[in-house]
Amino acid sequence: MFSFFLEKWSLQPGGGRVATRSSQLLPVRWRGLPAMLKVAEDDEEQRGRLSMRWWAGQGAAEVYAADDDALVMERTDSRRSLFHMAMTGSDEAATRIICNTVAALHAPRETPVPDLIPLERWFAALAPAARTHGGVLARSLAAAEALFADPHPPVVLHADIHHGNILDFGARGWLAIDSKPVYGDPGYDYANLFCNPELAVVTEPGRLQRHLPVVAEAAGLAPRRILSWILAYSGLSAAWFLEDDDDFNVEGEMLIARIAAAELDK
């Protein structure tokens, strides 16, 4: 799998292979620099290169080379982790770092926006799930429809912001990796701060209330609008997990949706 790209871009292997659900990764050296070769195995991951290249290393890891199937991007060996920070008493500090990174990604560029998926189409799975299951998913759908009816100016979204997709690059700061190819309302990218099911603290009592003003200030968005995006996003995420028959994560996302709905109802 890797040999073609190693030869194509004159890369030197620099570590062992890492497999994820959607990609194969290999640490390499590119022109003497530490880099990561990523060979994507589905269309969304492959097209994520479009936004990564568009950011040109501002707020995101720099892409050194790319084609339709793979990319070579800047690599960090730092062991600092936002996930570890959030789980060991520095949750709010991790949130502020993520917000700063998202703001850098959303900053205006003069470069034409690439061919990305409109956010409304990204939400395609929510409506059928809401019709089938009702309940809080119906609330999530209503929130999404209201947000799309009152959009903010669109930006190139990362669309998979979570504590594992923003890494410490030392002097370059905290930078995003592994984006999805989505374009739309900036509020969407802030919602996953509250929705990552792998982060146990997301459903702790009071966490949403503590972090909401922090995110609202950093994002320049009204707290109620962020709550609406949390409700919409968690419903969409639950719909995706329903498609995968992942009952554990479905329940986690529905709990987050109910927490957001309760806050909106106050």
Q: What residues act catalytically?
A: 160
DSSP character string of 18-62: EE-SSEEEEEEEETTEEEEEEEE-SHHHHHHHHHHHHHTTSSBPP
Q: Which helix (H) or strand (E) holds 125?
A: none
* Four-point Cα dihedral 40, 100, 195, 124, nearest 10: -60
Distance CA 44, CA 252 (A): 24
Distance CA 235, CA 255 (A): 10
| Strand positions, DSSP E, 124-177 | 155-157, 166-168, 174-176
Residue 158 has a CB neighbour count (10 Å cut-off) of: 28
Dihedral of CA 53/97/208/242: which sign? positive
